[in-house]
């Protein structure tokens, strides 16, 4: 006769992510120590915050009652700069990133070209847009031209990388079929690769157009033109009602861009 197995009367939920009890304890203690250390470096100046509270309320007031009219000339100039910069930089960025994207695809490019193109992509992705903008402003002077170059440079890293990954994922049988007809490399790209990646390339370009507009609102802070410069000026002048108006315009345009670009992408695919 076997003794009856003692089952526990209460069920306890097993741990979810960190299953080893020792590691769990180490992680908890480590996190607690880090939190104490990190919080001790934050040294809030309460007097300044209490003083700024008034300003915060004025800012919220400005947001609720935005003033579009008194700085409309500056706002519209900034907007035109941002929008034109967005379009030109996306077009130029896409034109440059197509050859780089083809060169960075392992299945169509020779190894030497592959490593050069991957290097260009890595350089463009590692540098933040704002830092690139600082350098372009120092080289090309203030204004939207520097912003245009920054956004085009950022577009290359994003688009060429995704395009290269897409080319590497294509259906090989079509490329093989075209190659079997005796087609040259250029014909193979044109008839086997291009039809397969074109819908996605257009989708990615639209997505990048959307990102470039968002970024164009930021790089103006370091002098690269666009609506960000106008916003920075408005905040520096303590004109919170104008700043509220600019922020509302940015939010509305970003939302419009996001929805129309996602709608267009759905429509194209």
Partner 1 sequence: MTDTAHPAVWRRRTPLAALLIWAGWFALVVLFVFCWHVMNRNTIWEFVWDAPRQAADIGDRMFPPRWSYLPELLVPLWDTLNMATLGTLLGVILAVPVAFLAARNTTPSAAVLRPAALFVIVGSRSINSLIWALLLVAVMGPGLLAGIVAIGLRSIGFIGKLLYEAIEEVDTAPVEAVTATGASRAQVLDYAIVPQVLPAFWGITVFRWDINIRESAILGLVGAGGLGLKLQASLNVLAWPQVTVILLVILATVVLSEWVSARVRKAII
Q: Which residues bind partner 1 (CB under 8 A)?
A: 13, 16-17, 34, 38-39, 41-45, 48-49, 51-53, 55-56, 59, 80-81, 83-85, 87-88, 91, 126-128, 130-131, 134-135, 138-141, 143-145, 148, 214-215, 217-218, 221-222, 228, 231-232, 235, 243, 247, 250-251, 254-255, 258
**Nearest approach, Cβ of residue 81 and partner 1 (Å):** 7
As a whole number of angstroms, the distance between CA 103 and CA 263 comes to 30
Sign for the pseudo-dihedral over CA of 95, 100, 106, 109: positive
Q: Cβ 103 to partner 1, closest distance in Å? A: 23
CB of 109 to partner 1, least distance (A): 24
The token pair at 166 is 């897409």
Measured from the CB atom, the residue of 109 and 226 that comes closer to partner 1 is 226
Give the nearest distance from C-beta 9 to partner 1 in angstroms: 17
Residue (25 or 55) nearer to partner 1, CB: 55
By C-beta, is 116 or 221 nearer to partner 1? 221
Q: Smaller CB distance to partner 1: residue 29 or 131?
A: 131
Shortest reach from residue 87's CB to partner 1, in Å: 5
* Closer by beta carbon to partner 1, 42 or else 186: 42
Q: How many angstroms separate the CA atoms of 73 and 92, rounded?
A: 28
| Residue from 113, 85, 92, 83 nearest 101 by CA | 113
In terms of Cα–Cα distance, which of 153, 150, 162 is closest to 202? 162
Nearest-approach distance from CB 214 to partner 1, in angstroms? 6
Rank residues 39 and 180 by Cβ distance to partner 1 and give the closer one.
39
């Amino acid at each position: 006769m076997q003794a009856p197995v003692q089952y526990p009367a209460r069920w306890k939920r097993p741990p979810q992510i960190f299953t080893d009890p020792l590691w769990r304890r180490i992680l908890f203690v480590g996190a607690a120590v880090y939190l104490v250390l990190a919080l001790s470096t934050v040294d809030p100046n309460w007097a300044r915050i209490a003083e700024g509270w008034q300003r915060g309320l004025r800012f919220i007031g400005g947001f609720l009652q935005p003033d579009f009219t008194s700085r409309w000339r500056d706002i519209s100039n900034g907007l035109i700069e941002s929008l034109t910069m967005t379009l030109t930089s996306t077009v130029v960025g896409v034109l440059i990133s197509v050859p780089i994207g083809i060169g960075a695809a392992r299945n169509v490019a020779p190894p030497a070209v592959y490593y050069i193109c991957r290097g260009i992509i890595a350089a463009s992705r590692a540098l933040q847009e704002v830092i690139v903008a600082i350098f372009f402003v120092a080289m090309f002077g203030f204004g939207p031209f520097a912003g245009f170059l920054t956004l085009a440079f950022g577009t290359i890293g994003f688009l060429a990388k995704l395009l290269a990954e897409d080319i590497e994922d294509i259906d090989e049988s079509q490329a093989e079929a075209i190659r079997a007809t005796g087609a040259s490399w250029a014909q193979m790209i044109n008839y086997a690769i291009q039809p397969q990646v074109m819908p996605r390339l257009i989708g990615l370009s639209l997505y990048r157009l959307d990102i470039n507009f968002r970024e164009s609102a930021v790089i103006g802070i370091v002098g690269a033109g666009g609506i960000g410069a106008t916003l920075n000026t408005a905040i520096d002048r303590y004109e919170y009602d104008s700043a509220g108006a600019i922020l509302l315009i940015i939010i509305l345009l970003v939302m419009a861009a996001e929805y129309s670009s996602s709608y267009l992408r759905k429509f194209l695919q």
